[in-house]
Amino acid sequence: AATKKLSRTDLQSDINAIKSDIGNWLVVWGPSYSYPNNDTSKPVDNAMFVAQALDKNDNPLPLYVVAIAGTNKSSVYDWFSEDLDMTPINWPYVPNPPQPMQVTTGDNLGLSTLLALTSDTSTAPSVTLQQFLAGLQNKNTISLWFTGHSLGGALAPLMTLALMDPKSRLNTSNNV
């Protein structure tokens, strides 16, 4: 997890520095960060960005990765509010599911925080991840991967379910 905020330019430079190992990618949303109770004097508690694959000639490919940071070891908030709060609650994104669906309170808090993050893009200022994904064209040709490390690894499948499940209240028009 981030201990300091990276600008999009810095993140892109870091990605470019390892492109021989991971391929060519362009940051298209984020990075976006949150702080406990919006207190920027505290360590970052959640971070996320979206990158799009590029071919060897820097042409965009229909592959996007949503990358979610793991627990910030410097964030007491991350440890106690997101990692260690294991109290089960009902999954809030599917009203009246046919079977009970539950998630931990900490994971739900992390997911809610990520869903509220906004970032400028090349085409729109201050959009959420959901709005960014909804705006992608030719969705039937796109591959969308969600990934993360540690806490981000727990939040990535929850983010996928919240945004992609046809029964999710966040995907009522199947626009993601």
Tokens 């990692």, located at residue = 83
Residue type, 159: M
CB 164 within 8 A of CB 176: yes
pLDDT in tens, 99-152: 888 999 889 999 999 999 999 877 778 999 999 998 999 988 999 999 999 989
Lowest mean pLDDT among 74-83, 102-111, 163-172: 74-83
DSSP string, 55-94: -TTS-EEEEEEEEE----TT-HHIIIIIIS---EEE-TTS
pLDDT in tens, 14-51: 999 999 999 999 999 999 998 888 777 787 889 999 99
pLDDT of residue 1: 45
